[in-house]
Structure 1
Amino acid sequence: MRSLPRWLIASICGALIVTIAMGVRQTFGVFLVPLSEAFGLGREQVGLTLAIQNLVFGIATPFAGALADRYGGQRLLAVGAIVYALGVAAVTIAASPLLLLVALGVVVGLAQSATTFAPVFGVIGQLAPPARRGFAFGLVTAGGSVGMFAFVPLAQLLLAALGWQGALLALAAVMVLPAVLTPALGAPARRTGAADNAPSGQQVIALALRHPGYALLFAGFFVCGFHVAFIATHLPAYLVDSGIGATVAAVALALIGLGNIAGSYLFGALGDRMVKKQVLSGIYLGRAIIFVLFLIVPLTDASALAFGLSIGVLWLGTVPLTSGLVAQLFGTRYLGMLYGFVFFGHQIGAFLGAWMGGAVYDRTVSYLPVWLAALALSLAATAIHWLIDDRPARQVVEQPV
């Protein structure tokens, strides 16, 4: 039996790492109400902590990507997993809202930048051949969806059985596992003389900033971040407030992950065969349609579950397409860093989505204005991606292997 190619082995390992890191990340919405009650805070304040986590995640990601590009992602991923576990565990002993913000907002946010897409894509992008890159990125992205599908109901069960502190300690223990998996990614790809003579990171950043398509990718990914953070943070509370049971609400959130397993594979593969920017426009138009239906159809257990599954198909299908467009425009040598800067736009949107959900609710006792904002942003992103100039930049820097 022929052995699997190195890029596929690394992709499977990267998918497992992202499964755990993103799985733990997606459980925090389940803890929104328990943390609010334990610390005597409003949803806006806990939502702000998670919003800061998203922002720190975004700010740190370009630097994590640059470190992965320069030194290889393996060590970064291992250290990040340990810090992630410590940050989650520290939430259980936080003695004040400020310490909660430091542990869950800052420490966990920093660790997420070192354990998720940017460093993993930095490794995979240098290994996968261009014709299979979309599939490889889709495989890794699907890992985040598997994590969401598996970890959200697990967190709900742990919460019911152990309380919020015991549940978080259990998740912290699981978060150590990616440190064990990182050796399977293999050694960093060796550079050739041609790569050593290639443009520097600063030159490539300057090239990217002059490319209009890069700015539009940044803006479009902002919308994605707003959507996923708002929904992941506030959907369970929104459903419970509307009379849906807590278990059904957790299952609806988990179904987002299930739908995205298929969506990530599908859109990653489509990106290898179709025009990536047009597929992205289709995703955002699809989200707009789903939001409209969710708001006008009576909310029942069935419609809540249908929403979770349908929005899940379109959830992170943007990630392999966006990272693939970055590689198409600028090559793979600095993919981790350049994707990291675009991902920062995603996390600015995530900051606003997580925070605005709580802020609007605390003032109006309603999430409707935020749902309408999400709908408007979907339509804007549909146009933004259609307008992207996706012709490669003059200096495309591939990483020879």
Structure 2
Amino acid sequence: MSTTHSKRFAPIFNPTTLVILAGALVLSAAMGIRQTFGLFIGPFSFDRGLPVTQIAFAIALHNLVWGFAQPFAGAAADRYGSTPVVAFGATTFAAGLAFAAVAPGGAMLIIGMGLLVGIGVSCTTFGVVLPAVGRIATPEKRSMAMGLVSAGGSVGQVLMVPLAQGVRLSWGIAASLFLLAFLMLLVAPLGMVLDRRARTGMPAPETAAEPLRKVLGLALRHRGYRLLTLGFFTCGFQLAFIATHLPEYLTLCHMPVGLGATALALIGLFNMAGSWACGWLGGRYRQHHVLGWLYLIRSATIGTFFVLPKTSTSVIVFAAVMGLTWLGTVPLTSGLVAKVFGTRHLGSLFGVCFLSHQMGSFLGAWLGGLAFDLTGSYSLLWEATVAAGLFAAMLHFPIDDATVNAPALRAEPAGA
């Protein structure tokens, strides 16, 4: 009887489940907090007299710094484990939020929300968390596991956006940002759980692996990897523009106060289902085909929302559909990299690919503010996000996803 009982409940506490839960919590904090930044554009502008372009540049810069730092954060996690990387990233992220909270002008805001947050988020998000999950999951379950982590990470967006908005309205910008900094510090120890595989006696990655420089050279010569990297630029461009400027855009459209925060929270809520669904689809269909259709659906949704009259209903529907396609690209993209090149250097290879994503994020956030200051409208950027999505879809369908025949690159775990 006791044996049956233990077998029934043992899977709840297996290493894969613990790593998924820890990864979801780290992602929830990091991704949820950065999704609140769009809520501070108006307050920073009105309360501290900063131009929208400058605020948008600070937010955009953290995306760019994130992108350039991600390959190094991924490589550090590949070599030293997630524990020191996540701890360093969470602390740096919190310091950046504290800098922004007390920033009297644009320079300090750019250092805090731009530079420090960018470094911190590179150590606490996809390029560090998903490789840890990818290594502990079996190949046939990897896409689903990554989808579950991405879906769980969306809890932070659902909770953080209304929390940040409520605290800001009651106690001001500084109190809201200090609270977010404290919450970020709470996840610093979770890197130890992401490294659980090494402590549970699971197979370690193959030590006699190809050097990183050779692996990167192989990847950059791979046509599919180049197309995937270029297409990932569009994902960052679309998401950063919407997350940063949707609240202000809805204000310009005379929508109810607080609808922007509601829309961002709904995106996070529906992203739970979307990320899980994309992980499930990636385990059953060719991942680059799922990515192609995802970009087509996203562009159609953005274009339809832009041309239709703005109502509370249309905003809610838009947020729901965007949420379903929001971060589903991440488990699909990282899963495709793992399928082609294996998991031994997944943090580094995904980090390089993610740099393209973050260059798109920088341009999406910054150009949105620049276009608004120059024209008084966001129309050009809405049109650009539609065109970019169609272009990305065309890039993904012809990708060759055959596994590269290089045994030293591959380090699949025996089981999970």
Shorter chain as denominator, the TM-score bin is over 0.9
Counting only pairs closer than 5 Å after superposition, residues 137-176 of structure 1 correspond to structure 2 as 137-176=146-185
2:229–2:356 contact (8 Å) kept in structure 1: yes
Deviation readout 1:212-269 (Å, 9 max, x if unpaired):
1111111110000001100000000000110112211210111111111000000001
CA distance 1:193–1:41, shift in 2 (3 Å): closer
2:281 aligned with 1:270, yes or no?
Answer: yes
Counting only pairs closer than 5 Å after superposition, residues 223-242 of structure 1 correspond to structure 2 as 223-242=234-253
Counting only pairs closer than 5 Å after superposition, residues 385-400 of structure 1 correspond to structure 2 as 385-396=396-407, 397-400=409-412
2:71 aligned with 1:59, yes or no?
Answer: no
Q: Partners in 1 of 2:112 and 2:230 — Cα distance?
A: 29
2:197 aligned with 1:185, yes or no?
Answer: no
Unaligned runs of 5+ in 1: none
CA shift, 1:95, in A, is 3.0
CA distance 1:221–1:193, shift in 2 (3 Å): closer
SS in 1 for 2:206: helix
* Alignment-derived partner of residue 115 in structure 2: 106
Q: Partners in 2 of 1:252 and 1:10 — Cα distance?
A: 30
Q: Partners in 2 of 1:88 and 1:20 — Cα distance?
A: 13
Counting only pairs closer than 5 Å after superposition, residues 72-111 of structure 1 correspond to structure 2 as 72-111=81-120
2:315 aligned with 1:304, yes or no?
Answer: yes
Which of 25, 32, 35 is equivalent to 1:16? 25
1:226–1:346 contact (8 Å) kept in structure 2: yes
SS in 2 for 1:92: helix
4+ residue stretches of structure 1 with deviation over 3 A? 186-194
1:58–1:343 contact (8 Å) kept in structure 2: yes
2:120 aligned with 1:120, yes or no?
Answer: no
Q: Partners in 2 of 1:331 and 1:194 — Cα distance?
A: 11
Q: Partners in 2 of 1:292 and 1:125 — Cα distance?
A: 35
2:342 aligned with 1:331, yes or no?
Answer: yes
Q: Partners in 1 of 2:277 and 2:215 — Cα distance?
A: 30
Which of 255, 263, 268 is equivalent to 1:244? 255
CA shift, 1:38, in A, is 3.4
| Residue identity opposite 1:3 in structure 2 | A
SS in 1 for 2:220: helix
| Residue identity opposite 2:84 in structure 1 | R
Deviation readout 1:319-343 (Å, 9 max, x if unpaired):
0000000001100000011000000
Instruction: Report % sequence identity.
Output: 44
SS in 2 for 1:75: helix
Q: Partners in 2 of 1:222 and 1:306 — Cα distance?
A: 25
2:91–2:185 contact (8 Å) kept in structure 1: yes
| Residue identity opposite 2:143 in structure 1 | G
* Alignment-derived partner of residue 331 in structure 2: 320
Q: Partners in 1 of 2:81 and 2:257 — Cα distance?
A: 42
CA distance 1:278–1:202, shift in 2 (3 Å): same
1:20–1:178 contact (8 Å) kept in structure 2: yes
Choose 144-153 or 110-119, whichever is displaced more: 144-153
1:39–1:97 contact (8 Å) kept in structure 2: no
CA distance 1:193–1:323, shift in 2 (3 Å): closer
CA distance 1:95–1:248, shift in 2 (3 Å): closer
Which of 47, 50, 66 is equivalent to 1:41? 50
Q: Partners in 1 of 2:317 and 2:357 — Cα distance?
A: 25
2:10 aligned with 1:3, yes or no?
Answer: yes
Q: Partners in 1 of 2:174 and 2:219 — Cα distance?
A: 44
Q: Partners in 2 of 1:194 and 1:378 — Cα distance?
A: 36
2:132–2:195 contact (8 Å) kept in structure 1: no
1:85–1:172 contact (8 Å) kept in structure 2: yes
CA shift, 1:191, in A, is 9.4
1:152–1:254 contact (8 Å) kept in structure 2: yes
CA shift, 1:122, in A, is 2.2
1:66–1:334 contact (8 Å) kept in structure 2: yes
Q: Partners in 2 of 1:193 and 1:144 — Cα distance?
A: 26
CA shift, 1:400, in A, is 4.7
Deviation readout 1:19-53 (Å, 9 max, x if unpaired):
11111111101111111223322211111111111
2:356 aligned with 1:345, yes or no?
Answer: yes
* Alignment-derived partner of residue 355 in structure 1: 366
Q: Partners in 2 of 1:262 and 1:285 — Cα distance?
A: 18
* Alignment-derived partner of residue 218 in structure 1: 229
How large is the RMSD of aligned CA atoms in angstroms? 1.5
1:236–1:246 contact (8 Å) kept in structure 2: no
2:50–2:105 contact (8 Å) kept in structure 1: no
1:263–1:314 contact (8 Å) kept in structure 2: yes
